[in-house]
């Protein structure tokens, strides 16, 4: 399997708990990259801190494992200095939308050509199960032993409103769709966001009595539906999967190059 060439075997076994969905995302991402025929030298993966962010250690791309919540800021710097490279930024829900929420909306607003993957397990996995801005209301967490009272963000609506030009969602159950969406997101020129609902049986599943990994994956199967389906009209509680936004807008690095050109010519 050619994908094996993309893995740093020396860092295995990985740190993820048995049944964690993050490994499924890693697998889908590798298949997406392989299907694009990209060389690993053309890819830079930038991550922050979290179970999800550890993915950058396991892949033999150019990788930067940075600080919690700041992956998009580092990635913006890399992309502006080397726009010919493909930047992939995997993040946890806390990383992307709690401490990193401001970076997220501004990267979307600028339409810089990065692929942001939000690995949404609705909990802070690495630090022991605190609730995140994507946990939603009525969720048990170590920091909410009597359940949360905060509503969660809808990543798709947030990314859309902030200006992302490609926005999609899938789950760790729907691996073929996920692979395709990751491929489309990498190909898209502009800020692309793929939200992946992924299971954390250890902290989210156990506390919320959702069962183990298999039951959580079944939950994704039974509680999601393709975007625009009839099922959603009949049952508004279903979570939609698919592509929500796909449009062309001026890309930030290209627009910035034009500013440099104008400055060099001395023209306003």
Q: Which residues bind ligand TPP (CB under 6 A)?
A: 49-52, 68, 92-95, 99, 119, 121, 123-127, 132
Give the β-pairing of 239-246 and 166-171.
Answer: antiparallel
Helix (H, G, I), strand (E, B) or coil at 184: helix
Of the pair 95, 251, the CB lying nearest ligand TPP is at 95
Q: How many residues does the chain have?
A: 268
Using CB positions, name the residue nearest to ligand TPP: 92
Of the pair 206, 232, the CB lying nearest ligand TPP is at 206
Least distance between ligand TPP and beta carbon 20 (Å): 9
* DSSP notation for 9-38: GGGPSPSPPTT-THHHHHHHHHHHHHHTT-
Backbone angles phi, psi at 33, to 5 degrees: -65, -40
Least distance between ligand TPP and beta carbon 74 (Å): 14
Least distance between ligand TPP and beta carbon 56 (Å): 12
Provide the 8-state DSSP code for 77: H
Of the pair 50, 201, the CB lying nearest ligand TPP is at 50
Of the pair 51, 139, the CB lying nearest ligand TPP is at 51
Of the pair 68, 241, the CB lying nearest ligand TPP is at 68
Least distance between ligand TPP and beta carbon 217 (Å): 17
| Residue 175 near residue 21, CB atoms below 8 Å | no
User: Which residues are CB-neighbours of 248 under 8 A, at least 6 positions away?
Assistant: 165, 189, 190
Least distance between ligand TPP and beta carbon 250 (Å): 31
């Amino acid at each position: 399997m050619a994908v094996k060439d993309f893995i740093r075997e020396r860092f295995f076994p990985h740190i993820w708990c048995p049944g964690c969905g993050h490994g499924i995302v890693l697998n889908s991402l590798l298949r997406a990259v392989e299907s694009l025929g990209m060389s690993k030298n053309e890819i830079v993966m930038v991550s922050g801190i979290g179970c999800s962010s550890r993915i950058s250690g396991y892949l033999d791309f150019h990788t930067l494992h940075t600080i919690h919540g700041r992956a998009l800021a580092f990635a913006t710097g890399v992309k502006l200095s080397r726009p010919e490279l493909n930047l992939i930024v995997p993040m946890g829900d806390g990383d992307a939308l709690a401490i990193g929420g401001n970076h997220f909306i501004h990267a979307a607003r600028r339409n810089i050509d990065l692929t942001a993957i939000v690995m949404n397990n609705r909990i802070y996995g690495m630090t022991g199960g605190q609730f995140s801005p994507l946990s939603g209301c009525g969720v048990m967490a170590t920091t909410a032993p009597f359940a949360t009272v905060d509503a969660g963000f809808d990543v798709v609506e947030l990314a859309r409103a902030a200006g992302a030009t490609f926005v999609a969602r899938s789950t760790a159950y729907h691996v073929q769709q996920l692979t395709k969406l990751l491929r489309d997101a990498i190909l898209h020129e502009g800020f692309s966001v793929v939200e992946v609902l992924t299971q954390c049986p250890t902290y989210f599943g156990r506390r919320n009595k959702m069962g183990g990994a298999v039951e959580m994956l079944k939950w994704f199967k039974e509680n999601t539906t393709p975007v625009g389906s009839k099922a959603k009209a009949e049952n508004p509680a279903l979570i939609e999967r698919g592509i929500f936004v796909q449009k062309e807008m001026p890309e930030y690095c290209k627009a910035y190059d034009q500013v440099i050109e104008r400055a060099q010519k001395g023209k306003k």
